[in-house]
Amino acid sequence: MLTDAVCARGKAGRGYRCGSLRVRIFNIRTRCYLASHSVERPLMRLGQASARRSSTASISMRRSGGMVKTRKRATLGGLAVLFVLLLVSALLVVTACGEEEATTTSGTGAETTAGPSTTAGSAEIEKVTVAISLEPQTMDPSSSKFAPLNYPVLANIYDPLVGQNDTGQPDPERGVATWTIQEDGKVIEFKLKEGIKFHSGDPLTSADVLFTHERTMANNPEYAGYMRQGFDRVEAVDDMTVKFYFTTPNVLFLYAAAPHLFMVSKTYFDKVGEQEFVAKPVGTGAYKFVEWKTGEYLDLVRNDDYWGPKPAVKAGHMVFVPDPVTRVQMLQAGEVDLVDTTPWDQVKPLQQAGYNVAILEAAPSICVQFHTKNPDVPWGDVRVREAIGLAIDKEAIQRDIFYGVPGLNAWPADWEVGYNPDLKPMPYDVAKAKQLMADAGYANGFTMPLVYPAMGMEPKQAAEAVSLYLKEIGITCQVQALEMGKLMESMRAWSADPKAEVVFIMSPAMRGSPDPVIGLQRQFYGKNPMGVYANPKVDADIEQAVMTYDNTKRGQLIADAYANIAKDVAVAPIVAGVTAYATAENLVFTPAAQDPAVI
């Protein structure tokens, strides 16, 4: 939601602000979590943002407690907008009309400082415009088949049952309800907050929660998947109280499902019917739907009766621009203030031209992932898998192929539950790699299939680079691209085949999932019908973590699982996936580490 906007006068060398602008974005990389059938791209959510400013205005984003370096939500374009990119939630604070330092973070973590500033008063903004890469499929979150594509809009129109704080933890101060966990996690009772109304004027009641849940369960595979473990039933205790019952505790409900259970109105549905309900959406959010012109734009207007903090931006204008080059050109032409998914080769040229670029380092990584269920192939030996990881010069790929943009550590981030400081990028050591190959009986090398998803240049470039590096240790790669549909089909077949011979360039969701357990389930759970790795110890940790609400205990389970995955060299990380957001010269945008609320 757009709140605490900014505006100001500019002054050479200094940033000015009027109040603060908070921006949230759930990032969904243009990658796919193959084991979950989800292709994800960075989408945004119009939320706390600032609007169009004069050409001399300057904005910096800050967050109490210091600059946010790796979170998952971003902001604006020609209008100051806050989009929720699902798959992960960064909180940014934009400020102007006073002097303050503006700090940005590069792909390697280096900070650059642009001049001091101080705080002044706040001001309302008439309009903000942002160019985003993906258009929503629907305005109705309860009928969405693939919710992440729709969050850039939905998170502005609707509010979730459970809100989240800046680290992705459930937060009773946000969202439409507070809750208590009862009976050792088998019952969760929600109390709706008083005075919340839909844009239609109807009050939010427990009947709407039940209606939203039932409709979403029937239509949204993502939500239904989160609810798969242990869900029993949901009951309305009274008009303002709802209870969800489970046969076994399911942490993913509170951490991933409920934060994306956007409330829709049963009363409105009963009044207008399915067609108008979807075409003219009403939520409880900070913005009301105005107009959607398919393939072009969507307009929102501030909800002046919003139950939460009143947004400073009066109107938001989202333009849908799928081509990344065109988005950059629009930024350069002054048509928008922010563009998402900036091509990595454009990051430095834009910076050199005076534009600001914010790097979000919480997206899925780029890794070599091994099918480990077949012990008879060379990479069935952990020494060979380690040799492959050591033979790849990750720093060179990061610097020379990916333009120095992505980071190198693809393991869970330090803000996530289960962070393991012992997990670091594998060094580049060809001599040790050759020795391991010899020890495993493959001193003369072998031929290995290397499959990558045919979507975008990054997987292709990674596959080509890996193939060249592995020649140094005698491995000849048969590189093959597969379209997503074929790859998904093949993954299921390979998972079920203990004699499959395949290695991938993949994007495991090791960091930046709605909850760390989700990444483990998707990529490393032995019972996943599309999984290519199995370890009983890892499976046991995952199963226990799903049932454990205590974050200290759950974090240890997650850390132990990833320690075993690293020990087995189930993957050889190359770089951490990132998304680059470019903004106009008068806008400095710093993403925060994504909050677990996504895909």
Given CA atoms 395, 400, 406, 411 in this order, what sign does their dihedral have? negative
Contact of 350 with 357, CB cutoff 8 Å: yes
Per-residue model confidence (pLDDT) at position 38 = 28
Helix (H) or strand (E) holding 571: strand 571-583
Q: Which of 391, 551, 371 is nearest to 449 (CA)?
A: 371
Judge contact between 416 and 520, C-beta under 8 A.
no
Tell me phi and psi for residue 477, to 5 degrees.
-95, 130
**pLDDT of 481-494, one tens digit each?**
999 889 888 998 99
Asked if pLDDT for residue 27 goes beyond 70, the answer is no
pLDDT at 304 over 80: yes
One-letter amino acid for residue 162 of the chain: V
pLDDT at 590: 60
The greatest distance separating any two alpha carbons of the chain, rounded to the nearest whole angstrom, comes to 74
Q: Which residues contact 486 (CB under 8 A, 6 or more apart)?
A: none
User: What are the structural domains of the chain?
Assistant: 20-145+288-361 (3.40.190.10), 159-270 (3.40.190.10), 363-579 (3.10.105.10)
Q: Are 246 and 186 in contact (CB under 8 A)?
A: yes
Q: Over the range 66-79, which residues count as b (16 or more CB within 10 Å of their CB) and which as e?
A: ebbbbbbbbbbbbb
First to last CA, the chain: 20
The radius of gyration of the chain's CA atoms, rounded to the nearest angstrom, is 24
* Cα separation, 57 vs 583, whole angstroms: 13
Query: How far is the C-alpha of 268 from the C-alpha of 275, rounded, in Å?
Result: 12
Weakest-pLDDT range from 192-201, 272-281, 305-314, 510-519 = 510-519
Closest of 349, 291, 351 to residue 315, by C-alpha: 291
Task: State residue 149 phi and psi, 5-degree precision.
Answer: -65, -20
Q: What is the pLDDT of residue 413?
A: 85
Among the listed residues 77, 84, 94, the one whose alpha carbon sits nearest the alpha carbon of residue 129: 77
Closest CA to 40 of 30, 50, 49, 48: 30
Higher pLDDT, 137 or 57: 137
CA nearest 530: which of 491, 503, 489, 497?
491
**Range with the lowest mean pLDDT among 270-274, 334-338, 349-353, 419-423?**
334-338
**What is the token pair recorded at 397?**
């790929």
How far is CA 292 from each of CA 298, 317, 319, 398, rounded to the nearest angstrom? 4, 10, 10, 39
Nearest by Cα to 286 from 45, 521, 116, 487: 45
The pLDDT tens digits for 47-61 are 333 323 322 222 222
26 and 84 Cβ atoms separated by less than 8 Å:
yes
pLDDT band for position 363 (cuts 50, 70, 90): low
Q: Using CA atoms of 166, 135, 221, 244 in order, give the dihedral in degrees to the nearest 10.
A: 40
Pairing between strand 287-293 and 297-302? Answer: antiparallel
At position 341, the amino acid (one-letter code) is T
What is the model's pTM? 0.75
What pLDDT does residue 126 have?
82
Exposed e or buried b per residue across 225-242, where buried means at least 16 C-beta atoms within 10 angstroms of its C-beta: bbbebbbeebeeeeebeb
**To the nearest whole number, what is the mean pLDDT of the chain?**
78
| pLDDT tens string 184-205 | 999 999 999 999 999 999 999 9
Q: How far are the Cα atoms of 452, 479, 491 from residue 464, in angstroms, in the given order?
A: 10, 8, 21
pLDDT band of 337, cuts 50, 70, 90: confident
Task: Tell me how far CA of residue 258 lies from CA of 209, 248, 324, 511, in angstroms.
Answer: 11, 17, 32, 20
pLDDT confidence bin for 150, thresholds 50/70/90: confident
1 and 92 Cβ atoms separated by less than 8 Å: no
